Amino acid sequence: MNNQNYIFCAKLIGAGAATIGVAGSGAGIGTVFGNLIIGYARNPKLKQQLFTYAILGFAISEAMGLFCLMMAFLILYGI
């Protein structure tokens, strides 16, 4: 094997490791909305405030997943 094959293999391993965060993002989104349902069931008067916090948590969790995906693409095609 030549040097370029080693670099390509390292890129694939790095991109695979970077995409693990996408699964964490999915778990985080599920946790956010699961807790929204629990909070709404406990106190329906706080529906709007709880929904605002849930959307904020969703956005932060989704952003982390997108950053992981972006890093994977940068590792594969940018470097």
On the question of pLDDT at 1 being above 80, the answer is no
- CATH of segment(s) 3-78: 1.20.20.10
* Contact call for residues 61 and 29 (beta carbons, < 8 A): yes
Q: Quick: pLDDT tens for 48-68.
A: 999 999 999 999 999 999 999
29 to 17, 48, 63: CA distances (angstroms): 20, 18, 11
| pLDDT for the residue 68 | 93
* Residue 78 parent element (H or E): none
Q: Quick: pLDDT tens for 9-42.
A: 999 999 999 899 888 899 999 999 999 999 999 9
Residue appearing with tokens 């940068």: 74
Q: Residue 35 is which amino acid?
A: N
| pLDDT for the residue 55 | 96
Q: Note the pTM of the prediction, 2 decimals.
A: 0.77
In this structure, what DSSP letter does residue 19 have? T
| pLDDT for the residue 78 | 85
Q: Is 57 exposed, middle or buried (0-12, 13-18, 19+ CB in 10 A)?
A: middle
| pLDDT for the residue 21 | 87
Where are the chain's structural domains? 3-78
